[in-house]
Amino acid sequence: MARKYRGVTVRGAESIQITFTYQGKRCREVLRILPTESNLRYANNRRFEVLSKIERGTFDYATEFPESRSAIAKASKTGCHITVGEAMNRWLISCQKRCAYSTVRGYTSAVRHYLEPRWGHYTLDDMNRQDIEDWINTLSVSAKRINNTLIPLRQVMEQAYMDGTINQNPMARIKNLKVRAREPEPFTLDEIDRILSVLDGPAKNAVQFGFWTGLRTSELLALKWENVSIDDGYAIIKEALVHGRLKEPKTTAGKRKIQLHEKAIQALIAQHNIKGSCEFVFTDPKSGERWDSDQPFRKRVWIPAIGAAGVKYRECYQMRHTFASQMLSDNRNPLWLASQMGHSDWGMIRKVYGRWIDAN
């Protein structure tokens, strides 16, 4: 019955097969319809429609035969078969080989908590700019957090576009939100004294050293005795403790040798007098070993000390701002300060601490 229709064959009692050539290969697709005369005519018309689209260059295998086993291999737009969730998970695996642990951890958090729940079930070619912007407007987190959350989605969509998986990148015209930099709010000398007065032992020494070196908390807790010299008054900053792991600074300037202020040396001497066998300078008083990360330090040392001292709460990072403002108020050279704090030039010093420079 099907012989009068070229390329159309009856397959059993409940289906019809059509045959056509695509990209130089013979393709066979089964239509799950009864082989009646009317359905055979439909199959013949369907075959001619496919041939016509192939000739015009508009044929997309996955669109025409979405359930076909050959669809993904022969499709011109594989984006209709790959979900955003699948693409992001593959991207996260690739990041593990080229990104720091802390960076991968941040990307993974963004994918699991924000991107995957909202977009994971979408296919790559389902994504569009307006839907993404509407979703961004619903997020009740900071602009900085939103920008960081969008990084994995930007990377995945850009990669899909460059690979030819999708015809256009919906993230290309979505700009990062403006992030307003927080003004430094350094502690006064009186506030420093009040904070130190409620501390003792390793905790006091660590906080005093932080106030008078301008180290990041992660750098402070990663400092080893082998990298300090009390007699010569210097410390070499080579590592940072981030999410429980030691890592090298991101930039060459971050790896540096710093001169120690007199009060920082005093803190080192006090710590040296009580140090145990641990290779790290500032240890967890509870265990006598290296701090697990900066989070326990904040919770068990910093926050209680600020409360007990009765001063306005500011984050640990303000110790760094305090050091910078004190040094500039003391007429120290901004170039020297930039080197101390791990900046490649003094542009950041001017940008962040300009009012202390201008005051002099």
Closest CA to 280 of 194, 341, 218, 358: 218
Mean pLDDT, range 20-43, rounded to an integer: 89
Residues 6 or more apart whose CB falls under 8 angstroms from that of 343 comprise 253, 349
Lowest mean pLDDT among 50-64, 156-170, 301-315: 50-64
Mean pLDDT, range 53-62, rounded to an integer: 82
pLDDT value at position 337? 93
**pLDDT above 70 (res 159):** yes
Residues 6 or more apart whose CB falls under 8 angstroms from that of 166 comprise 77, 79, 124, 125, 127, 157, 160
pLDDT value at position 152? 96
Of 176 and 72, the one with more pLDDT:
176
pLDDT band at 76 (very low <50, low <70, confident <90, very high): low
Global pTM value: 0.67
**Residues 280-324 pLDDT 10s:** 999 998 888 999 989 999 999 999 999 999 999 999 999 999 999
Q: Sketch out the chain's domains with CATH numbers.
A: 8-76 (no CATH), 84-162 (1.10.150.130), 189-358 (1.10.443.10)
**pLDDT above 80 (res 74):** no
**Residues 198-251 pLDDT 10s:** 999 999 999 999 999 999 999 999 999 999 999 999 999 999 998 888 988 877
Radius of gyration of the chain (CA): 32
pLDDT value at position 71? 60
Of 322 and 254, the one with more pLDDT:
322
- Tell me the percentage of the chain whose pLDDT exceeds 90: 64
The strand ranges marked E within the chain are 8-11, 15-22, 25-31, 228-229, 234-237, 240-242, 245-247, 256-259
Distance CA 145, CA 141 (A): 6
pLDDT band at 79 (very low <50, low <70, confident <90, very high): low
Q: What is the mean pLDDT of the chain?
A: 89
pLDDT value at position 191? 97
